[in-house]
Amino acid sequence: MISSNINTDIDFEVEINRLKKDMNAVILAHYYQESEIQDLADFVGDSLELARKAKSTDADVIVFAGVHFMAETAKILNPNKQVLLPDLEAGCSLADSCPAEIFKSFREKYPNHLAISYINCSADVKALSDIICTSSNAEKIINQIPKDKPILFSPDRNLGKYLMKKTGREMLLWDGSCIVHETFSERKIIDLKIKFPDAKIIAHPECEEAVLARADFIGSTTKLLKFVIEDNGKKYIVATESGILHQMEKAVPEKIFIAAPPENNCNCNECPYMKLNTLEKLYLCMKNKVPEIILPEDTIEKALKPIEKMLEMS
Ligand code: 13P
Ligand code: SF4
């Protein structure tokens, strides 16, 4: 029976570690998770590293502390393992912006184009794509495509525009965006830069062009983390989901990190989907072994090909 009654005396950390051993489970977490979840996870990483870890794990159960498309990717790579996600509602605005049926018609209009899809899309969209990419390997992948091959890039228009600039390739872009990364205010970032002139601006390529134009460094979450560790600066204005600040502060506690502000006075620099996962839900999903990611066999079969292509090419 599924139990959601919570005894408030439960030490979630102790119980999660106990369940992990009993189930032979691995906990994979994205950098945008609550810091307490990141600290408890076996591995914390960006989308590409999490996919690689999911592929190489010998655990029987993968507990994915991230969003739905990430857990789906883990399931596609491990059809025989149980993949659990603490909250099934943990979606992604980018994935939602690209419904598979509409994507299918879009593809059919351009039969000669190669469909490169950002990993932030549903398993059904992956199944309709030629190659998957993440923000850390997209440039490398695009550079391997013959110059005369036209490309459809979906679903993030900001990442797409950034890649067009970086690679000098024209691409046909899907018009999707991330609700978190499009919220950063260029005006407020400039104000912060005036207040802290020695701070470097670092940004995720899902940010809008105007914000990226102000950045000293642009990269995936892992690349941003590596940059602040290796760089000789002391202060950074960080334009990505604020969960990444936890690892930055842990890695280089002597440095100062300022979360880039959203346009409105809200917490919009936190991903509302990522933050649906809590320690309590993580515990409950392991205890009850639900919610579980289940995908049709043929979707897994079709979606695996473009994911494997990505892993080969990156
Ligand atoms: P990366 O961790 O691959 O940089 O992606 C960021 C993101 O928005 C995940 O949803
Ligand atoms: Fe999706 Fe944006 Fe949240 Fe990443 S931060 S999961 S792209 S909504």
Ordered DSSP codes for 203-227: E-TTS-HHHHTT-SEE--HHHHHHH
Contact 268, 93 (CB under 8 A): no
Q: Ligand 1 centroid vs 220 CA: distance in angstroms?
A: 6
> Rounded to an integer, what distance in angstroms lies between the CA atom of residue 24 and that of residue 163?
40
Domain 12-91+274-294 has CATH 3.40.50.10800: yes
Contact 208, 189 (CB under 8 A): no
> Rounded to an integer, what distance in angstroms lies between the CA atom of residue 223 and that of residue 155?
21
Binned at pLDDT 50, 70 and 90, residue 5 comes out as low
- Residue 4 pLDDT exceeds 80: no
Question: Tell me: the pLDDT tens digits for 150-191?
Answer: 999 999 999 999 999 999 999 999 999 999 999 998 999 999
pLDDT of residue 267: 86
Nearest ligand for residue 52 CA? 1
List ligand 2's pocket residues with C-beta within 6 A: 32, 67, 92-94, 120, 178-180, 206, 241, 271, 273-274
Which of 133, 135, 180, 204 for mutating ligand 2's site (highest number of atoms within 8 Å of CB)? 180
Binned at pLDDT 50, 70 and 90, residue 123 comes out as very high
pLDDT of residue 204: 98
pLDDT of residue 248: 98
Please give the CATH topology (third level) of the domain spanning 94-178+302-313: Rossmann fold (3.40.50)
Domain with CATH 3.40.50.10800 in the chain: 12-91+274-294, 94-178+302-313, 186-259
Omega of the bond leading into 291 within 30 degrees of 0 (cis): yes
- 168: alpha, beta or left? (left if phi > 0; alpha if psi -120 to 50): left
Q: Ligand 2 centroid vs 180 CA: distance in angstroms?
A: 6
Provide, rounded to the nearest whole percent, the portion of the chain with pLDDT above 70: 98
Dmax over CA atoms of the chain, in Å, equals: 63
pLDDT of residue 6: 67
Question: Tell me: the pLDDT tens digits for 11-61?
Answer: 999 999 999 999 999 999 999 999 999 999 999 999 999 999 999 999 999
Pick the CATH number of 186-259 from 3.40.640.10, 3.50.50.60, 3.30.750.24, 3.40.50.10800: 3.40.50.10800
Contact 41, 86 (CB under 8 A): no
- Residue 314 pLDDT exceeds 60: yes
CA dihedral 211, 160, 121, 217 (to 10 degrees): -40
Mean pLDDT for all residues in the chain = 96
Q: Ligand 2 centroid vs 93 CA: distance in angstroms?
A: 6
- For the stretch 242-257, what's the b/e string if a residue is b when 16 or more beta carbons lie within 10 angstroms of its beta carbon? bbbbbbbeeebeeebb
Question: Tell me: the pLDDT tens digits for 59-76?
Answer: 999 999 999 999 999 999
Which of 72, 94, 125, 208 for mutating ligand 2's site (highest number of atoms within 8 Å of CB)? 94
CA distances for 10 relative to 7, 37, 264, 300, angstroms: 6, 16, 38, 37
Nearest ligand for residue 247 CA? 1
Residue 5: how many CB atoms within 10 A of its CB?
5
With 0-12 CB in 10 A as exposed, 13-18 as middle and 19+ as buried, what is 179?
middle
- pTM score, two decimals? 0.96
pLDDT of residue 225: 98
Question: Tell me: the pLDDT tens digits for 231-285?
Answer: 999 999 999 999 999 999 999 999 999 999 988 888 889 999 999 999 999 999 9
